[in-house]
Amino acid sequence: MSKAAELAALIGSQTALSNRNLVINGKFSIFQRGTGATTVNGNDVFAADRFKGWANGGGTYTVEQSTDVPNNEFEYSAKLTNTGVDSSVAAGDNYRWATDIEGYNVSQLGYGHSDAKAVTLSFWVKSSLAGTYCGALYSTTASRHYIYEYTISSANTWEKKTITVSSGDTTGSWNKTNGNGLRIYWGFGSGSTYQGTAGAWTAGEKWETSNQAAWIGSASATFFITGIQLEVGEQDTPFEHRSFGDELARCQRYYIEFGSNGASGCFLGSTFAYVSRTIPQMRATPSISVETLTGYIDQYGTTSRNAGSVAVSHTEGHIIIYGNSMSGGSTGNPAFLRKQTYLSAEL
């Protein structure tokens, strides 16, 4: 086939040559919460932006940013390390890692309808434990899953994996707005409750088969992954590289951190102040957490003021943070944010 014919075939098989990848932060350049090891020892533990893990049953693992990569195309990978072995996984134990894709971004797939589209998932992976691994595509609203298997042929060797789901799911009510549209799972050894059959759309939430390698049962096992791409069609294409700024902005739709002097406003009395700032448009009204309430807001020309609590008001592209139950403020005096603040609208 000529180069022109190859290009025509590629163009014909894709909805676009840009914005193909439905996964955000698939090459792990964004770690707003910190690039060091984060321990996964429960539910919904975030480390890399847009990715979270679960560990229930006694085992634990860490997630961190790594410069171990398959080739010069990538700068970073995510490194998972088994830090707490579960050598006897019970039926309800579960060890998994996932990324959630917003409904707006997967509505083009037509899932839940007769014209549901095929998709292709591709990624680079390396593990100290060779064998069969599993994952799944899953809808939290339709409660439907598609389990996939892939083989890590050689330990400690980067390998590219491609999984084609040739038939989209035509059943169920899939979210197509700002809720959770599609979750991609990678499994590490879960109990029989979460095991099913690969290669078909089925009701319920499962992400492994009984063939899954016992990664969580292997002390100090490692698992590296990068170059994750999910795209429409049955043909995988080269990884879509986006600029750092573009990828950061996409991540900040779900999570934003800012610190000292990150916002300004004024005191409206001795016990109440507000500060505001412009932010990227977030998926929904964010929850707020802070480094500490001690010295949270400064009143200009005086010492910092403690807050008894904080609250947030959100409109598109803008937030107001309220410091409540304060002391010693003066109406009309300028107020400045002094401590690290975290906004989350995660799926």
- 141-177: per-residue pLDDT in tens? 999 999 999 999 999 999 999 999 999 999 999 999 9
Same domain, 247 and 297: no
Same domain, 206 and 264: no
- Among the three residues 251, 277, 303, which one is the final residue of a domain in this structure? 251
pLDDT score, position 5: 45
Distance CA 94, CA 148 (A): 17
**Band of residue 298 on the pLDDT scale cut at 50, 70, 90:** confident
Annotate 136-166 with b (16+ C-beta within 10 A) or e (fewer): bbbbbbbebbbbbbbebeeeeebbebebebe
Same domain, 173 and 264: no
pLDDT at 329 over 90: no
- What is the edge-to-edge ordering of all strands in the sheet holding 304-305? 304-305, 297-299, 334-337, 264-267, 273-278, 318-324, 309-315
**Domain count along the chain:** 2
Same domain, 126 and 239: yes
Would you say residue 114 lies in a domain? yes
Distance CA 184, CA 101 (A): 8
Higher pLDDT, residue 32 or 7: 32
**Band of residue 90 on the pLDDT scale cut at 50, 70, 90:** very high
% helix / strand / coil in the chain, to the nearest 5?
10, 40, 50
Same domain, 149 and 35: yes
Would you say residue 3 lies in a domain? no
Going by C-alpha positions, the residue among 325, 269, 326, 321 that lies closest to residue 303 is 326
Same domain, 161 and 303: no
Q: Which helix (H) or strand (E) holds 246?
A: helix 244-251
Distance CA 99, CA 138 (A): 10
* Residue 75 vs residues 30, 33, 92, 259, 267: alpha-carbon distances, Å: 11, 18, 37, 27, 46
Same domain, 271 and 233: no
pLDDT score, position 139: 98
* Residue 189 vs residues 20, 81, 89, 160: alpha-carbon distances, Å: 31, 14, 7, 21
Contact in structure between 63 and 49 (CB atoms under 8 Å): no
pLDDT digits (tens, 9 = 90+) for 91-127: 999 999 999 999 999 999 999 999 999 999 999 999 9
* Average pLDDT in the chain: 93
Would you say residue 7 lies in a domain? no
Going by C-alpha positions, the residue among 23, 22, 24 that lies closest to residue 32 is 24
pLDDT digits (tens, 9 = 90+) for 168-224: 999 999 999 999 999 999 999 999 999 999 999 999 999 999 999 999 999 999 999
Going by C-alpha positions, the residue among 98, 71, 64 that lies closest to residue 222 is 64
Going by C-alpha positions, the residue among 101, 254, 253, 104 that lies closest to residue 176 is 104
**Band of residue 328 on the pLDDT scale cut at 50, 70, 90:** confident
pLDDT score, position 15: 47
Would you say residue 1 lies in a domain? no
Would you say residue 111 lies in a domain? yes
**Band of residue 265 on the pLDDT scale cut at 50, 70, 90:** very high
**Band of residue 301 on the pLDDT scale cut at 50, 70, 90:** low
**Band of residue 244 on the pLDDT scale cut at 50, 70, 90:** very high
Q: Which helix (H) or strand (E) holds 120?
A: strand 119-127
Contacts of 332 (CB under 8 A, 6+ apart): 266, 267
pLDDT at 6 over 60: no
Same domain, 160 and 116: yes
Tokens at residue 175, please?
């979210």
Same domain, 266 and 212: no
Distance CA 136, CA 133 (A): 11
Tokens at residue 124, please?
């680079």
SS3 label, residue 183: strand
- Among the three residues 200, 216, 251, which one is the final residue of a domain in this structure? 251
Q: Count CB-CB contacts under 10 A for residue 332.
A: 9
Q: Which CATH number do you get for residue 142?
A: 2.60.120.260
- Among the three residues 251, 280, 295, which one is the final residue of a domain in this structure? 251
pLDDT at 7 over 70: no
Same domain, 222 and 335: no
Distance CA 135, CA 270 (A): 55
DSSP 195: B
- β-strand partners of 129: none
Would you say residue 5 lies in a domain? no
Would you say residue 302 lies in a domain? yes
pLDDT score, position 2: 56
Would you say residue 33 lies in a domain? yes
Same domain, 162 and 178: yes
Going by C-alpha positions, the residue among 71, 93, 342, 96 that lies closest to residue 223 is 96
Distance CA 242, CA 11 (A): 19
Range of the domain at 281: 255-344
pLDDT score, position 12: 44
Q: Count CB-CB contacts under 10 A for residue 324.
A: 14
pLDDT score, position 209: 98
- What is the rounded average pLDDT of the residues 273-298? 92
Same domain, 219 and 338: no
